[in-house]
Structure 1
Amino acid sequence: MIVKNTTLLLIYLLLFVKAGTAQNFYVSPNGNDTNVGTLQRPLKTVDKALSRINADNSPQAAIFLREGSYYLEKPIRITSALLEGKLLSIQAYQKEEVVLSAGKLIQPQWEKHEGNILKAKIDKAGFEMLFVNGQQLPMARYPNYDTASRVFNGTAEDAIAPSRVATWKNPAGGYLHALHQGEWGSFHYRIKGAKNNEPELEGGWQNNRPSPLHPKQRFVENIFEELDAPGEWFYDPSTQLLYLYPPKGVDVKPARIEVSNLKHIIELRGTAEKPLRNVTIKGIRFEHTERTIMEHYEPLLRSDWMIYRGGAVVMENTENCQVKESEFTNLGGNAVMITGYNVKSGVTGSHIYNIGSSAICFVGDSSAVRSAAFGYDNFVPFAKMDKTPGPKNNHYPLQCFAEDNLIHNIGKIEKQCTGVQIEMASEIHVSHNTIYKVPRAGINIGDGAWGGHLIEHNDVFETVLETGDHGAFNSWGRDRFWHPNRKTMDSLAAAHPELILLDAQKPVVIRNNRFRCDHGWDVDLDDGSSNYHIYNNVLLSGGLKFREGFQRIAENNIMINNSFHPHVWFKNSGDIFRKNIVMRPYFPILVKDWGKEVDYNLFPNQTDLASARASRTDMHSRFGDAAFINPEKGDYRVKESSAALLLGFKNFPMDQFGVRIEKLKAMAAKVSFPVLLNAELENNMQEMTWLGAKIRNVQGLGDRSAFGLPDEKGIVIVDIPESSILSKSGLQNNDVIVEANKEKADNVVRLEAIRQQVNWTGQMEVEVLRNQKTVKLKINLK
C-alpha cells in the first residue's frame, strides 16, 4: 500500500514502532517480585521476570540484571513453550557486575574446636566446594594441597595404604582420586567405609578406558583426620558441623563464605518438535556449581571419554542461542554443555577459568550414530553394520561455535577434560580462542562423526600438564571401519574401503593455529582419525602425529624443534605430507607404506633428509636453514633467501592467533617461544644448564684422551647437584653422555632436542661412558 498523506504515514510508523518495541524487565538483588519490573521498581528474581514476558504481543524481551549476586534456589530454565517464539536476552545492565550463583551464602558462628581448627553449625545437607572471600579452599586431604605439585596439586603413593586407613575413624563420604594407569585421564571414587584397613570404594566410571589406578598419582580428601593444614575444611553432615583450619592471614569471622549447591545455573531447553530459538545471555558471571564427578557418566562411543551432560549453562534443542561476553569461574564441573540437537548456537567472547572439568562441550546424542559401538574394545561386525553414510537423525550440534574465548586453568578435579570438546557433531567452528594450563588437550575431537569442523586462529599452549600420551589438539576416529585388532581392521578396510568415510564425511580443517605441547604432540591424530586438512599451523614443541587413518593432508606447517610422527599407517592411506618445515628427522613407527605423497619438505640437515629418502620419500625435498624472520618474537615467516620458498612453502600471518577482544587479550598469558635447536646453535652453544646440572660439549683431543672416547663427540657432566633428578637417576660428575633415546647425542643442543622429543613419556634412556666403560641409565624427566 502506498501512503500519500504525511500524517497517516507518521501514524503507521508509530504503530509499527510500538508493535516492535521489546519488553524490558529489570531485576535486582534488592528488588521485590511484587514490583512491576521497571528500572525504578525492579523484580527480585529472573524466574519472576520470565513468567511475565508473554504479557503482551511484542516480538522480543530483555531482562536486565542489576549489580550483585543472585543465589539461586533452582536452575533458571528457559523453554520454547515459555517464550512462544519471542527473542530473549538476559544481560547485565550497563556492564554492571552480575553474578548468578549456584551456591549459597552462609554465615557461620565460629567457635574453637581444638588447636587451630574452628567449627560452626551449618544447616546445609552437604556440599563439596567452599569459598572464603572468593577463593576456593581445599577439603581436608592427603597429601596436603601443594600449588607447585604437577598432578592434582599433590599426590602420594601411600594415599590408601593400610597404615593410613587405620588412622581414619569414619572415612565414609571421603574420596579417592587417581590418574588412569596410562595417564589417560582420571578416576574418582567415593569411600563408603573401610574393612580390614582397606577402603570400600564406589565409582571409577569417569573414563572409557578401564584400567587399574595409577600406583603413585593419587590422593584422598574429605576425611576428618586429614584436616591438618591451613585452608583445609571438613563438613560432617551427621552433626551439621563445619570444621575449618583458617587460611594464613585470613580472619574468617567477618569473611564472605559461600558453598556450592546446584549443578546447573541456566538451562536452555527446547524440544525436538519445537526448538528454543534466539536467546542471548550476555555479561553474566557464573559461579559455584557443585562438583559432578559422581554423577551419571555416559560413554562417548569408542573414544576415551565418559561425560556428564551438564554444566553451568546447558543448551539442548536450540537454534541461534548464545552466551557472550560472560565469565565462568569457581565451577565444580563443565562450564557450557551444548548437548543433542543444536544449530548455530555457541559461546563467544567469554572468560572461562578455575573450573572442575571442561570449558565448552558440543556433544551429540548417540541415537544419531549408525552402528554405534561403545568402549574401545567393542565393534559392530560387518554383516550387522548399518552401511548408510552419515547420521540417522539430527540429534547433534550442527554449525555451532566457540569463538574469541579465553580458557585456562580448567580440569581442577577431572583430568579427562578439555577446553573445547567435540563429539558426534558436524561443522563446529572453533576460532580465535586462547587456551592454556589444561591437564589434557586444549581442543579434542572424539570421533569422525560427521566432520566438517573448522579449527582456526587458536592459540593453545601449556597443555597435557597432568596426563600423558595426548596433544594440544587431539582426535580419535574410532568409526565404523575401525577395529581394535589391527589385522582385522587392515583386512576390513582393504576389502571394504567404502566404510572409511561413512562417518567422517566432511573434512576437518585445522588452519592458522599455534599449538604447543611440551608433554606430547602439538597435533595428535590418533586411532583412525580420517579426512583432515591441516595447513598454515605453527607447532612449537611436540610436532605432528598421524596414527592409523585415511585421507589426511598436512601442508605448509612449521614444526619447531620437532618433526612428523607417522605411526602404523594403512596401505593406500591416501595421506599427504608436503611443503612443511621440519627441524628433526621423521619418527616413523611401523610404517611400510608412506601414503600418497611425502615430499617437498625442508629438513634442517643432509643427514635427516637422507634418512627420509632411505624410506623412498622426499625425493624433491631439500635441507638447509629455514631462515625465520624473528623466531625470538614468534615470527616464523621465512626470509626470501629460505629454501622453503623454493619448495612451494608460503608464508602466513603470525599475529592472528588467539582471542581478539582487547580486554581478554590483556588478561591472557603469553606463550613462550622455544630456543631454536638448529645448526647455528649447535655450532655456537658449548655448555648449558640441563635438568639442574651443568653440562658441556666434549672439547678436543684432551677430552678424548681424558675420558677415553672414540671421537670428540658427546656431553660431559660438569656439576650435578645431589638433589637433581639426574643425580637421582644415577648420573655422576665426569660421565659422558654419548647416546639418548637410541640417538647419537653429539652435543648439548642435540641432547636437549632429544629430551624435548620424549619429555612427555617421563623417562629417557641414556648411554654414558664412565671410566671407559659403557653404562646405560634411565633418567626421570618428571
Structure 2
Amino acid sequence: MLAALWPVVLCAQTTIYVAPNGSDNGRGTQAKPFASIDRAMLEARKASGHVEISLMGGTFYLDHPIVFTSEDSRKETETLTIRNHKNQKVTLSGSTVLKLKWVPYRNGIWQAKVNQDLVWDELIVNGHLQRMARYPNYDSTARFLGGTATDALSKERVSQWKSPEGGYVHALHQNEWGDFHYIITGKNNNGELVLQGGWQNNRRMGMHERHRFVENIFEELDVANEWFYDKHAKILYYLPPTGLDIKTAKFETPQIAHLLEFRGGETKAVRNITIEGLTLTHTLRTFMDNREPLLRSDWTIYRGGAVLLDGAENCSLKNCALLNLGGNAVFFNNYNRNCEVSGCVFSEVGASAICFVGDPNAVRSPSFEYNQFVPLAQIDHTPGPKTNNYPAECIVYNNLMFNLGRVEKQSAGIELSMCQSITVSHNTVYDVPRAGINIGEGTWGGHLIEYNDVFNTVKESGDHGSFNSWGRDRYWHPDKKVLDTIVENNFELTTLDVVKPITIRNNRMRCDHGWDIDLDDGSSNYFIYNNLCLNGGIKLREGVNRIVENNILINNTFHPHVWFKNSNDVFRHNIVSAGYLPIHIEVWGKETDYNMFPDSASLKAAWSRGTDQHSVCGELDFVNPQTGDFRLKDGSVAFSVGFKNFAMDSFGVISPELKALAKKTPLPSVITLDQTTDSEAIDFIGAKVKNLTTLGERSATGMDTTRGVLVVDVPAGTAASFFLQANDVILMFNKRPVNKLRDLLEARMSVIGTNTEVVIFRNQKEVKKWIALDGKK
C-alpha cells in the first residue's frame, strides 16, 4: 500500500514518474505521476542512492529549458537518470501547438489570426518543417543553400517588396568558407536593402556574389509549404501542399533554443546525471546569435544547443534522438570532464551536432582573427593552458549524424576547439555542408579520432575535407615568410599549444568536394595511420611533427603543401593511387619513403624529387573493392616496404539499430592509370572517353595532331552531360594539359572541390568552360 502512494524504492533506487497528463500535485508514482520534469527534480533532490525519473510516453512541451545545477548532482556512487519509461516514445519539444482558425486568402494561400504572443522563427506542420517565403524558391537539387540567385538583392527584386524589414539574407562566404546571415531592417533612399549581421564568419571578406537567397518576405509566398507571419497584423499566411487538410493539421512553432542545460562549473560541477532514450526536437534557430570568433579559425560560434553542458562531470546523453533542431544539438561549453554522448541519432540539425569549445581566457597568447598575431617577443613560452576551464576527457561514441548544417554552413558533425583529449570513436557522419569532424586549432591536443565513417561532406562549401583542422596556434603568423623564420629559429614554440599528439586512426573517409583528410594552416603533432581514404587523398599544409603511415588512398594521392624546412614530417608505408601533388615543397620532411605507387612513372617522379628511394610500384590488387574490402591481396609488393593490412569492417556505428538506419558509404570504382590501351574507352564522370589515336578520329574532330582524350559517348543525366558532348576532345583539365587518358585521370585527382576549368576542342575551335563535376547548380 505504501509503494502505491510514494515513489518506488527497490535496491536503493528511487523511481519518480512523470507523464504529460500527470499533475504536479500528484505523488510522483506510476499511478499518480507528476506533470513536469522540474517537479520530479525537486523530489529527486530529497532522495539518496540511485534515482530514476521515468518519463511516460508522449510529448512534453517545454516553455523553458530544464536546468540541472550542482544541487541536482549525485554522489560518486550514486546516479540520477532521466529516461523513457519501458521504451515508450518520449519527446521533449521546444515548440508550442498553435490554435488556429484558417480561412482562404487568395491564390491558394490561407490565413489565420494568431492570438498567442509567440516567437516566429520556424513552422512545423504535422511534424514536418515548412519554409519561410523565400526567393528563389527552395530547390532540393541545388548544391548551395537550397537554391540561390544573383539577383536576390537587386533593386528590381527589392522594389517588389512593400515591407521587407524582418526578412533575412543568407549567403555563402565569398570564397565558400562557410556562410553569412543578415536581418533586413528596411530600405534606404536608393531602394536598396539595409542589412544588419554578417558576423557569422571569422574571415569577413563579404558574401558570395551569386550564392545568396532571401526569406521571410511576404511577396515571395508563392509555392506550396511556404509561410509568412505578419507580426503587425498578427496573421499567419500559409500555402498548403495538395492533399493537406489544413483544418485538421497540427501546427507548431519553436519557442526556445535550449531544452536541457547543465549549469555548473569547476568548483560546483553538475555530476553523475544521465539522459537516456528521449527524443529532443524543435528548437529556435540561432544563426543571428552566432558571433563569437574562435581562435584564428574561420569559425564563429554560438555557445549553446538543444543540450548545453557547462560545468558537468560524469554526465551522459545516451540512446537519444536529436531531430529537427534550429541550432547546435549538443554543446560542451568551457569546463566539462568525463562526459559522454553515445548511441544517439542526430538529423535535420540547424548547425553542428556536437561541439566542444573551451574558454579563450585559458589560452596563452591567443589571437582571434586570421590576420592577427602576437609579436614574437611577447609570446608566452609556457606550454599548455592557463586554467582548467575547457572540456577534456570526454567521449563521443557510436552516434549517427546526418543532414546537419541545415541553416549554418560553418558547422560540423563534431567540432573541437580549445579542448583536450576528446575521444571520437565509431561514429557515422554524412550529408554535411563542411567537415564531418573539425579541429579548430591545436589547443590542446590529445584527441583520439578512430573508427569513424565520414562521407558526403563539404556539400555546401569549398576548400575543406571530411576531416579538417587548423593549427593557427600562438606561434603562427599569416605572413608565410615571417612564419618560416619563426619556425626555423624558434621551433620549440610550435607545440606549446598542441601539447599532446592528436591521433587519427582506422577511419574510413570520403570527400567528393575536397580532401578526405585535410590538415591546414599549421596543424601540428598528428599521428595518422590505418585510414581508408576513398576519394580526396590526404593533404598536409605547413605544420610540424606529423607522422602519416599505413594509409590507403583510393583514386587520389598525397598533397603536401608549403612545408617548413624543419617540419619533421613523415610519410611512409602508404598506398597511393597516383604520384604526389606537392605545392612549394623544398624539403620533404624527416622521411618520405617506403610507400607504394601504382606505376613506375609515379615512382620515378618521386625519385626525381629525391624522395621514396626505397618505395615500390605495382598493381593495386585489392581483395574485394566492390564490397569495400580494400585490403591488398597476398603477395602484394606493398608488404615488402612495411605496409600492413588493417580491418575493413569496423568503421562507423556499431549498434544494430543505428547500422540499420545509416546510409551506406558510396564505394568508388578503382581508377588504374595504366590499365587501358589506346583503343579502350573508360568511364569518366559518366561519359565514355578514350585516347585520340587514329587519323579517322583526327579527321572527325578536326584536331591538328593526334593528341587529347576523345569523348565517345555522353549519356543524358550524367555529370558529364552538363559540359561534354560526343566527339569533343578534352585538351586541358584543371589547368593541366591532357594528351592521354593518364593525364586526364591525374588531372581529375588534382581537383579539390567540384568546380574546375576544362578546355575542349569542339566544332573546330577550343572552348573553355568552368564546370561543376557533380552536375549541381
Q: Same fold (TM over 0.5)?
A: yes
What is the distance in 1 between the residues matched to 2:370 and 2:285?
27
Aligned match for 1:88, one of 80, 84, 89:
80
Aligned match for 1:126, one of 110, 119, 122:
119
1:199 aligned partner? 193
Kindly indicate whether residue 170 of structure 2 is the aligned counterpart of residue 180 of structure 1. Answer: no
1:3 aligned partner? none
> What does residue range 290-329 of structure 1 map to in structure 2 within 5 Å?
290-295=284-289, 297-329=291-323
Q: 1:707 Cα deviation (Å)? A: 4.8
> What does residue range 441-452 of structure 1 map to in structure 2 within 5 Å?
441-452=435-446
What is the distance in 2 between the residues matched to 1:418 and 1:94?
33
Aligned match for 1:141, one of 134, 142, 145:
134
Conserved 8 A contact 2:445-2:500 = yes
Q: 1:582 to 1:39 in 2, by over 3 A?
A: same
Kindly indicate whether residue 113 of structure 2 is the aligned counterpart of residue 116 of structure 1. Answer: no
Kindly indicate whether residue 32 of structure 2 is the aligned counterpart of residue 32 of structure 1. Answer: no
Superposed CA offset, 1:511-557 (max 9, x none): 00000000000000000000000000000000000001000010000
The 3-state SS of whatever aligns with 2:183 is strand
What is the distance in 2 between the residues matched to 1:20 and 1:276?
24
Q: 1:700 Cα deviation (Å)? A: 3.6
TM-score, normalising length from structure 2?
A: 0.95
More displaced 10-residue stretch of structure 1: 313-322 or 746-755: 746-755
Kindly indicate whether residue 63 of structure 2 is the aligned counterpart of residue 64 of structure 1. Answer: no
Superposed CA offset, 1:725-761 (max 9, x none): 87876x6653322332344535557535533531515
What is the distance in 2 between the residues matched to 1:263 and 1:776?
48
Conserved 8 A contact 1:282-1:324 = yes
Aligned match for 1:579, one of 543, 562, 573:
573
More displaced 10-residue stretch of structure 1: 37-46 or 732-741: 732-741
Superposed CA offset, 1:322-343 (max 9, x none): 1000000110000000110111
More displaced 10-residue stretch of structure 1: 445-454 or 708-717: 708-717
What is the distance in 2 between the residues matched to 1:684 and 1:257?
63
What is the distance in 2 between the residues matched to 1:598 and 1:769?
43
What is the distance in 1 between the residues matched to 2:560 and 2:80?
50
Conserved 8 A contact 2:73-2:272 = no
What is the distance in 2 between the residues matched to 1:735 and 1:114?
51
Superposed CA offset, 1:53-96 (max 9, x none): 1224x122110100000001210001012446452110001110
Kindly indicate whether residue 486 of structure 2 is the aligned counterpart of residue 492 of structure 1. Answer: yes
Instruction: Provide structure 2 residue ranges, at least 5 long, that are not aligned to the other structure.
Output: 1-7
Conserved 8 A contact 2:430-2:455 = yes
Q: 1:507 to 1:725 in 2, by over 3 A?
A: closer
Superposed CA offset, 1:134-154 (max 9, x none): 110111000111111111111
What is the distance in 2 between the residues matched to 1:504 and 1:476?
11
The 3-state SS of whatever aligns with 2:325 is coil
Kindly indicate whether residue 67 of structure 2 is the aligned counterpart of residue 77 of structure 1. Answer: yes
More displaced 10-residue stretch of structure 1: 685-694 or 480-489: 685-694
What is the distance in 2 between the residues matched to 1:269 and 1:669?
36
How many residues are treated as equivalent by the alignment? 763
What is the distance in 1 between the residues matched to 2:326 and 2:679?
48
What is the distance in 1 between the residues matched to 2:99 and 2:142?
33
Q: 1:105 Cα deviation (Å)? A: 1.1
What is the distance in 1 between the residues matched to 2:223 and 2:347?
25
> What does residue range 387-406 of structure 1 map to in structure 2 within 5 Å?
387-406=381-400
Superposed CA offset, 1:177-212 (max 9, x none): 000000000000000111222111001111111111
Q: 1:169 to 1:490 in 2, by over 3 A?
A: same
Counterpart amino acid of residue 173 in structure 1:
G
2:456 aligned partner? 462
The 3-state SS of whatever aligns with 1:646 is helix
Q: 1:689 Cα deviation (Å)? A: 6.0
Conserved 8 A contact 1:127-1:290 = no
Superposed CA offset, 1:640-692 (max 9, x none): 12111111000000000000010010000001111111146434983356556
Conserved 8 A contact 2:581-2:750 = no
> What does residue range 332-731 of structure 1 map to in structure 2 within 5 Å?
332-679=326-673, 681-683=675-677, 686-687=680-681, 690=684, 695-704=689-698, 707=701, 713-718=707-712
Counterpart amino acid of residue 347 in structure 1:
V
The 3-state SS of whatever aligns with 1:158 is helix
What is the distance in 2 between the residues matched to 1:725 and 1:640?
37
What is the distance in 2 between the residues matched to 1:159 and 1:18?
63
1:224 aligned partner? 218
Conserved 8 A contact 2:462-2:753 = yes
1:10 aligned partner? none
What is the distance in 2 between the residues matched to 1:474 and 1:653?
23
What is the distance in 2 between the residues matched to 1:677 and 1:296?
42
Identity %: 50
What is the distance in 2 between the residues matched to 1:458 and 1:490?
34
2:12 aligned partner? 21
What is the distance in 1 between the residues matched to 2:259 and 2:584?
49
1:262 aligned partner? 256
Conserved 8 A contact 2:757-2:768 = no
Superposed CA offset, 1:288-331 (max 9, x none): 00000111521111111100000000001111101000000110
Q: 1:107 Cα deviation (Å)? A: 2.4
Kindly indicate whether residue 757 of structure 2 is the aligned counterpart of residue 764 of structure 1. Answer: yes
1:54 aligned partner? 45
The 3-state SS of whatever aligns with 1:609 is helix
What is the distance in 1 between the residues matched to 2:147 and 2:265?
44
TM-score, normalising length from structure 1?
A: 0.94
Kindly indicate whether residue 726 of structure 2 is the aligned counterpart of residue 736 of structure 1. Answer: no
What is the distance in 2 between the residues matched to 1:23 and 1:594?
63
Conserved 8 A contact 1:469-1:761 = no
Q: 1:447 to 1:383 in 2, by over 3 A?
A: same
Q: 1:626 Cα deviation (Å)? A: 2.1
Q: 1:19 Cα deviation (Å)? A: 10
What is the distance in 2 between the residues matched to 1:724 and 1:671?
20
Instruction: Provide structure 1 residue ranges, at least 5 long, that are not aligned to the other structure.
Output: 1-16
Q: 1:690 to 1:359 in 2, by over 3 A?
A: same
What is the distance in 2 between the residues matched to 1:48 and 1:163?
56
More displaced 10-residue stretch of structure 1: 111-120 or 406-415: 111-120
What is the distance in 2 between the residues matched to 1:759 and 1:482?
25
Kindly indicate whether residue 151 of structure 2 is the aligned counterpart of residue 158 of structure 1. Answer: yes
What is the distance in 2 between the residues matched to 1:246 and 1:498?
63
2:4 aligned partner? none
Q: 1:623 to 1:217 in 2, by over 3 A?
A: same
